[in-house]
């Protein structure tokens, strides 16, 4: 492999991936728009034509914005790599710190991150204050947006910069097997974040309060007892301060496991429906889906870090991506930027696996709570979150981590019989 060959391969993979993504987006928009006028028969009794139309328009608007994001991201990728942008940022960092040193490497990575954030900022603002507001979902105020941004920047500085510095030090100090030590540290760090996020990070952005005593809490505690599930607490999060979308999630592991409900979700669902949704989430834990996913990601990332270790010594890797400089920081930045270009073909495989997990969790939920209540809850969530009931089958098979609404509801109704 030489620099020009790798540059051509990279541009081909980037262009091919972009064309496939644009084709999929076009299919999705056309398919959803074509079915905009009629509610699918299985949902006709519960979803109004107006709600169905809103979901279709919302879906098309989101995909259209995603297309803009794709084009900007691809253009930025070209500018940063073969366009020489990364080398320019590397040289800029060299004006303030000794080239090749640890401080220089951290500054270079930080400059790339800040530039990427600045490019993405206009779309981020429009997504909340334009698209989401147009469909009645945004509750984020400009003041809260600025506060979130400042908190995020502070966290990135306090946690991210020392993290980058340590990784760059490992790459220098651990010899030819540095990639293995970096992988091990990355794995441990991600597990640590899962442990501390619920207690120390999430409360910086949202308020959490224990679930009030009452019929809902009684139902949930009874469900947890039936399933033999222990956790550190049941909490309600003020999700309504940013969005009208409803959700619920598990977070943490071991003794730090907790269940968090968005206040918007509790406003929309009856206690029996919340119980059914929670039973579905318990199904993921019962089938060890989180740990299976971590195991696959861990094994896959080990292979990628080994590849990174190999590429670090190949001049064509740097030159083919527009950099004259090599070293630890350029290696890390280049690999992080170009890896998604070459791993896009794995997307449908991971999506298929995720949908399989959702079916398994649904089956578990149906064995511990009425399947009809889960159906009722899902239909309400589809309606209130403006989720399309008619996705393009090909688009859905590539991207969707959850089964299409019609297929999922039909399978749950079979379990209810």
| Residues forming the active site | 281, 362
Distance CA 164, CA 118 (A): 20
Which are the contacts of 196, defined by CB distance < 8 A and separation ≥ 6?
none
Instruction: Report the C-alpha gap between 275 and 270 in whole angstroms.
Output: 9
* Strands of 233-237's sheet in order across: 208-210, 233-237, 258-262, 248-251
3-state secondary structure of 247: coil
Residue 83's contacts (CB-CB under 8 Å, 6 or more residues apart) are 322
* Three-state secondary structure call for residue 81: coil
CB 271 within 8 A of CB 216: yes
Distance CA(326)–CA(316), nearest Å, equals 10
Q: State the residue for tokens 């992080």.
A: 336
Instruction: Report the first-to-last Cα separation within the chain, whole angstroms.
Output: 60
Query: Residue 70 and residue 348: Cα distance in Å, rounded?
Result: 18
Rounded distance, CA 134 to CA 128, Å?
9
User: Quick one: angle between helices 289-311 and 178-196, nearest 10?
Assistant: 150
- 259: helix, strand or coil: strand
**Cα–Cα dist 412/405, whole Å:** 11
Sequence-distant (≥ 6) Cβ neighbours of residue 144 within 8 angstroms: 241, 242
- Per-residue DSSP letter, 131: I
Asked whether the beta carbons of 265 and 275 are under 8 A apart, the reply is: no
Closest CA to 278 of 249, 245, 239, 255: 249
d(CA 37, CA 407): 20
């Amino acid at each position: 492999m030489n620099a020009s060959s790798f540059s051509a391969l990279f541009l081909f993979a980037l262009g091919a991936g972009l064309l496939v993504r644009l084709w999929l987006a076009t299919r999705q928009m056309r398919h959803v728009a074509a079915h905009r006028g009629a509610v699918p028969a299985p949902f006709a009794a519960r979803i109004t034509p107006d709600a169905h139309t809103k979901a279709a328009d919302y879906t098309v608007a989101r995909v259209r914005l995603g297309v803009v994001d794709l084009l900007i991201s691809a253009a930025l990728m070209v500018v940063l790599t073969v366009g020489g942008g990364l080398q320019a940022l590397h040289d800029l960092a060299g004006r303030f710190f000794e080239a090749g040193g640890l401080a220089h490497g951290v500054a270079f990575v930080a400059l790339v991150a800040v530039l990427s954030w600045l490019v993405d900022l206009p779309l981020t603002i429009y997504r909340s204050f334009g698209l989401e507001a147009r469909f009645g979902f945004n509750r984020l105020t400009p003041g809260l947006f600025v506060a979130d941004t400042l908190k995020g920047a502070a966290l990135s500085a306090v946690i991210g910069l020392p993290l980058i510095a340590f990784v760059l030090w490992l790459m220098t100090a651990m010899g030819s097997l540095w990639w293995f030590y970096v992988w091990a540290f990355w794995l441990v760090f991600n597990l640590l974040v899962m442990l501390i996020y619920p207690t120390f990070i999430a409360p910086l952005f949202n308020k959490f309060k224990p679930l009030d005593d009452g019929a809902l809490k009684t139902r949930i505690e009874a469900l947890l007892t039936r399933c033999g599930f222990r956790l550190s607490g049941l909490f309600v999060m003020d999700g309504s301060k940013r969005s009208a979308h409803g959700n619920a999630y598990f977070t943490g592991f071991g003794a730090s496991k907790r269940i968090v409900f968005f206040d918007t979700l509790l406003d929309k669902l009856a206690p029996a429906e919340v119980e059914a949704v929670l039973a579905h989430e318990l199904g993921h834990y019962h089938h060890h889906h989180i740990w299976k996913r971590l195991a696959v990601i861990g094994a896959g990332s080990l292979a990628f870090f080994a590849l990174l270790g190999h590429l670090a010594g190949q001049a064509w890797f740097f030159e083919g991506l527009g950099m004259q400089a090599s070293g630890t920081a350029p290696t890390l930045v280049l690999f992080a930027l170009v890896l998604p270009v070459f791993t896009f073909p794995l997307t449908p495989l991971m999506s298929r696996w995720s949908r399989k997990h959702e079916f398994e969790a649904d089956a578990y939920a149906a064995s511990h709570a009425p399947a009809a209540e889960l159906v009722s809850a899902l239909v309400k969530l589809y309606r209130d979150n403006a989720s399309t009931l008619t996705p393009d089958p090909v688009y859905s098979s590539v991207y969707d981590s959850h089964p299409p609404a019609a297929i999922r509801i039909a399978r749950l109704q079979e379990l209810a019989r």
